[in-house]
């Protein structure tokens, strides 16, 4: 790995003398800031590296002893001579790898309440949905230690050399991660491998927590504790609600590319500690409590819902998310971002056109510069201009970046589009028309889009006229469908599509268990053949549909890549007059102009 070494020290650099009682004064280099940005003045190859085991307040493996989490840290050599530095901290469950574990069979029948059914755990996967790109030492130490930071990389409970058991995002994992910040602020104990206590006397106590994916989810969780010393978090492609990661409006939903994954087998996959059998009972409890049968939101998921705890956040938040991330979907970002705004949490946002990725891989120079300014502002109390800049950077479809003050876009209004046979229109539908579709989970949505003119019994397609000028969809679309189902249970899926002259592209999609008619917290039995009105959200997005294109809506039952896959044959009849698509459009209905 290429290292970043200290710059030549010019006469403008400040030196500080640390007086010691009865000894000769000792000199060390103070941090140097230019235009409010720290400069690389410390030698990385001379940095101090330590390994500690930090005592937490929990006993997640129930062995009668408090769990200890393993952490490796690196800090400038000058911290041994009196320099105090803030810390950039990443907690990960992945540092010791991921095990192949059984996942659920998604080719299974749905469960109608109150009837109960079971899912069989089959097959194995070699990688999990939330794999982080960075490994120790990574770029955090390369870039930030020379600039006067300590870097701590720790292992989450039940993983690697840490004690305890993974619990997929609840308070136990949160408190395990919080203990590192407590130690850096002098309110928790840590020990070396020989059991000798180690104190972080070199730390200022100011901590910035960051990471990608699961590593970025833990900062969201810890921020909801309001822990002293956590000044900022930088979550990248991170979860804010584990329910919305594994469920969607009552439906059991897979993270993109990982069908059959759930909270329990995720925990099992990352249980890489010694004697993992000690965690078997904990994992079994996750299986019982996650309620894969009904898909309902319950106390299990409430304990893993950081959005509902956003009022406790005291740290600033710099979020990064891919608009095409179908692993950690965009609702994770949108719900978190809006909740933080409601409670006036200082925040910044980058939205990019990629998937589950970090800007270090595609916008590196701008990313490191911005991250440097952000950490300097919040951890060094530097008076740079990072908080005077527009809050949002968004990458457009042509891969250029735009700065905006807020998100969703200003002047966005919800526009209702009525459903007519084959058409989406702003005009009210006065005709009582019904159309039927037959579920077949083996048919992929992408195959349905190949020829929009080709009829299919497995989906319904509606399109606007060609746009006279482009429109920007910014925020969360909603589908409202009045329909009857010939069975007590089914899946419902809505897919928003951009139809161009030469290609079609999925904009976003969303799902629902129709038994969760009124709430994701409670399923209710449906009467086959009876009309109900179902409303559900699609994943939030920010997308420009170009002039000459049409906006399409595809309605279907099961979505092969995301929902459970019951046997084909369920019939769903949609009453078009009472159904509509609701789109958040910048400029509202006035922005919709059709070609004649």
Confidence (pLDDT) at 134: 33
User: In this predicted structure, what is the pLDDT of residue 126?
Assistant: 34
* CATH numbers and ranges of domains, the chain: 15-238+252-305 (3.40.50), 412-591 (2.60.120.260)
Q: DSSP secondary structure string, 385-447?
A: STTTS-SEEEE-TTS-EEEESSSSPTTEEEEEEEEETTEEESSPP-S--EEEEE--TTS-HHH
Question: What's the gap between Cα 335 and its chain centre?
Answer: 10
From 73-82, 286-295, 423-432, the region with the lowest mean pLDDT? 423-432
What is the per-residue pLDDT for 114? 62
Lowest mean pLDDT among 15-29, 94-108, 561-575: 15-29
| Section 406-419 average pLDDT | 98
Concatenated DSSP letters of 490-533: --EEEEEEEE-SS-EEEEEEEEE-TT-SSBTTB-----TT--EE
- Which of 139, 142, 154 shows the shortest CA–CA distance to 50? 154
- Confidence at residue 26, expressed as pLDDT on a 0 to 100 scale: 55
Report percent pLDDT > 70 for the chain: 92
Average pLDDT over residues 443-448: 92
**What are the residues whose beta carbons fall under 8 Å from the beta carbon of 448, sequence distance 6 or more?**
456, 458, 459, 461, 554, 556
Q: Is the pLDDT of residue 272 over 70?
A: yes
Residues in the chain: 596
Write phi, then psi, for 236 (nearest 5 degrees): -120, 120
Q: Catalytic residues, which ones?
A: 213, 325, 356
- Judged against a pLDDT cut of 50, whether residue 484 lies above it is answered with yes
Mean per-residue pLDDT, 379-389: 97
**Dist CA 152 CA 180 (whole Å):** 9
Q: What is the pLDDT of residue 453?
A: 73
By the 8 A CB rule, do 103 and 252 touch? no
Distance CA 77, CA 72 (A): 15
Q: What is the 3-state secondary structure (H, E, C) of 136-163?
A: CCHHHHHHHHHHCCEEEEEECCCCCCCC
Average pLDDT over residues 138-153: 95
Mean pLDDT of 501-516: 96
pTM: 0.92
Q: How confident is the model at residue 137 (pLDDT cuts 50, 70, 90)?
A: low
CA distances 543 to 90, 99, 185, 236, Å, are 32, 37, 44, 20
Give the residue-averaged pLDDT of 178-200: 98
Asked if residue 14 has pLDDT above 90, the reply is: no
Task: Give the model's confidence band at 383: pLDDT under 50 very low, under 70 low, under 90 confident, else very high.
Answer: very high
């Amino acid at each position: 790995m290429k290292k970043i070494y200290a710059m030549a020290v010019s006469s403008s650099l400040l030196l500080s003398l640390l007086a010691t009682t009865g000894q000769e004064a000792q000199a060390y280099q103070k941090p140097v800031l230019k235009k409010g940005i720290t400069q690389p003045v410390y030698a990385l190859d001379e940095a101090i590296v330590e390994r500690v085991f930090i005592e937490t307040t929990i006993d997640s493996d129930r062995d009668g002893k408090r769990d200890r989490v393993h952490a490796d840290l690196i800090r400038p050599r000058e911290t041994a001579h009196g320099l105090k530095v803030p810390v950039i901290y990443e907690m990960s469950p992945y540092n010791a790898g991921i095990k192949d574990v059984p996942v659920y069979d998604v080719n299974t029948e749905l469960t109608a309440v109150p009837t109960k059914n079971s899912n069989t755990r089959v097959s194995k996967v070699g990688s999990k949905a939330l794999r982080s790109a960075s490994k120790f030492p990574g770029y955090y130490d390369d870039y930030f230690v020379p600039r006067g930071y300590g870097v701590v990389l720790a292992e989450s409970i039940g993983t690697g050399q840490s004690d305890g058991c993974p619990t997929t995002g609840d308070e136990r994992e949160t408190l395990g991660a919080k203990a590192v910040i407590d130690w850096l602020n002098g309110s928790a104990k840590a020990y070396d491998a020989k059991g000798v206590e180690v104190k972080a006397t070199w730390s200022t106590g100011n901590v910035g927590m960051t990471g990608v994916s699961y590593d970025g989810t833990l900062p969201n969780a810890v921020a909801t504790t309001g822990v002293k010393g956590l000044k900022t978090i930088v979550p990248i492609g991170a979860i804010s609600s584990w329910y919305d990661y594994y469920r969607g409006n009552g439906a059991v939903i897979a993270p993109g590319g990982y069908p059959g994954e759930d909270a329990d087998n995720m925990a099992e996959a990352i249980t890489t500690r010694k004697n993992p059998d000690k965690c078997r009972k904990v994992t079994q409890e996750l299986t019982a409590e996650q309620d894969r049968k009904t898909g309902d939101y319950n106390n299990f998921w409430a304990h893993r819902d950081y959005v509902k705890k956003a009022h406790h956040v005291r740290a600033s938040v710099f979020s990064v998310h891919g608009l095409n991330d179908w692993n950690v979907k965009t609702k994770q970002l949108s719900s978190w971002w809006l909740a933080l705004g409601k409670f006036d949490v200082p925040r910044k946002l980058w939205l990019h056109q990629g998937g589950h990725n970090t800007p270090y891989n595609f916008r590196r120079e701008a990313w490191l510069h911005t991250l440097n300014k952000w950490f300097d502002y919040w951890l060094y109390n530097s008076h740079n201009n990072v908080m005077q800049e527009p809050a949002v950077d968004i990458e457009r479809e042509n891969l250029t970046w735009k700065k905006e003050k807020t998100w969703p876009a200003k002047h966005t209004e919800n526009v209702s589009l009525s459903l007519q046979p084959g058409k989406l229109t702003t005009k009210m539908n006065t005709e009582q028309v019904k159309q039927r579709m037959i579920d077949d989970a083996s048919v992929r949505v992408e195959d349905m889009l190949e020829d929009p003119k080709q009829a299919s019994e497995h989906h319904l397609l509606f399109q606007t006229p060609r746009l006279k000028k482009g429109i920007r969809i910014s925020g969360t679309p909603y589908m409202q469908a009045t329909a009857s189902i010939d069975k007590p249970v089914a899946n419902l899926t809505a897919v928003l599509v951009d139809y161009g002259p030469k290609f079609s592209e999925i904009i976003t999609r969303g799902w629902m268990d129709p038994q969760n008619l009124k709430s994701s917290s409670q399923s209710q039995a449906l009467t086959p053949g009876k009309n109900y009105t179902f409303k559900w959200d699609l994943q939030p997005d920010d997308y420009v549909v170009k002039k000459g294109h049409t906006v399409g809506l595809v309605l279907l039952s099961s979505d092969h890549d995301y929902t459970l896959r019951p046997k084909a044959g369920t019939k769903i009849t949609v009453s078009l007059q009472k159904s509509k698509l609701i789109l958040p459009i910048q400029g509202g209905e006035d922005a919709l102009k059709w070609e004649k």
